[in-house]
Amino acid sequence: MAAVSTNDLKRGMSLALADGLFQVVDFQHVKPGKGGAFVRTTLRNTRTGAQMDRTFRADEKLEQAMIDKRDMQYLYRDTDDYVFMDNESYDQLSVPPTSLGSAANFIVDGSTVTLMMYGDEIVGSDLPAAVELNVTDTEPGVQGDRVSGARKPATLETGLVVQVPLFVNPGDRIKVDTRSSEYITRA
């Protein structure tokens, strides 16, 4: 582990603290008129997603966590777990859905996902901003029911349910925002 000074913190940097593994969301160096300087930070727990504010003395040493980002291809679902293949070593890795979090709603056969690993533990995943998914089930739009902005629920191939416009039908391919799980457009 590499020690890093609080004066060298950057957004997105991962830290191994006594409380767990955290990522720096925001930081601010403060030099009051009286007393010593300090660094006010906002940290996000990489395992739970919870955010917390913490203050450190200036030039305090912290342990930097080295996060390995690996491109993995999703192969298939084995009972509860997702099975991925490393694109470089071709090793297969079985991943529980709890490690993927909400990313599991956007993963389809053959898609490539960047998994963030700390040692052998998966602490997160990077997805593109939007993915294209097929609509498997939705109610048909009623002729004449054209209220501006009207929406209906649609079930996608991954099981995710999103609100879509009335003109979307089963079998259509739509683009979905992976950050907010909202419909963007037809693909």
Query: How many domains are contained in the chain?
Result: 3
The confidence score (pLDDT) of residue 49 equals 76
Q: Kindly state whether residues 76 and 107 are assigned to the same domain.
A: yes
- Which single residue is written with the structure tokens 């979090």? 101
The confidence score (pLDDT) of residue 150 equals 79
pLDDT at 47 over 80: no
Q: Kindly state whether residues 146 and 158 are assigned to the same domain.
A: yes
Q: Kindly state whether residues 58 and 80 are assigned to the same domain.
A: no
The confidence score (pLDDT) of residue 142 equals 66
pLDDT, one tens digit per residue, over 6-34 is: 888 888 888 888 888 898 989 999 888 88
The confidence score (pLDDT) of residue 95 equals 87
pLDDT at 98 over 70: yes
E strands in the chain: 2-5, 14-17, 20-30, 38-45, 51-57, 61-64, 68-78, 81-86, 92-95, 112-118, 121-126, 130-138, 151-156, 161-165, 173-177, 182-186
pLDDT at 42 over 70: yes
Q: How many residues belong to the chain? A: 187
Q: Kindly state whether residues 53 and 6 are assigned to the same domain.
A: yes
Q: Kindly state whether residues 23 and 36 are assigned to the same domain.
A: yes
Q: What is the CATH number of the domain that holds 150?
A: 2.40.50.140
Percent of the chain at pLDDT exceeding 70: 95
Q: Kindly state whether residues 15 and 52 are assigned to the same domain.
A: yes
Q: Kindly state whether residues 109 and 80 are assigned to the same domain.
A: yes
User: How many of the other CB atoms lie within 10 Å of CB of 40?
Assistant: 13
The confidence score (pLDDT) of residue 40 equals 93
For 18-26, which contacts have Cβ atoms below 8 Å and span 24 or more sequence positions? 19/45, 20/45, 20/46, 20/47, 21/45, 21/46, 21/47, 21/65, 21/118, 21/123, 22/46, 25/51
Q: What is the CATH number of the domain that holds 36?
A: 2.30.30.30
Q: Kindly state whether residues 92 and 137 are assigned to the same domain.
A: no
The number of C-alpha atoms within 13 Å of 63 and in the hemisphere containing its C-beta is: 11
Given 105, 126, 147, the domain boundary residue is 126
Please give the residue range of the domain that contains residue 82.
68-126
Q: Kindly state whether residues 33 and 73 are assigned to the same domain.
A: no
Q: Kindly state whether residues 81 and 122 are assigned to the same domain.
A: yes
The confidence score (pLDDT) of residue 148 equals 64
The number of C-alpha atoms within 13 Å of 9 and in the hemisphere containing its C-beta is: 28
Given 126, 143, 174, the domain boundary residue is 126
pLDDT, one tens digit per residue, over 126-173 is: 888 888 899 999 887 666 656 667 788 999 988 889 998 888 888 899
Given 11, 42, 64, the domain boundary residue is 64
152, two tokens: 């209906």
Amino acid at 118: Y
Distances in Å between the Cα of 47 and the Cα atoms of 96, 106, 121, 124 are 13, 19, 10, 8
The confidence score (pLDDT) of residue 155 equals 92
- Which three-class secondary structure state does DSSP give residue 119? coil
* Mean pLDDT calculated for residue range 60-78: 88
Q: Kindly state whether residues 106 and 143 are assigned to the same domain.
A: no
Q: Kindly state whether residues 116 and 151 are assigned to the same domain.
A: no
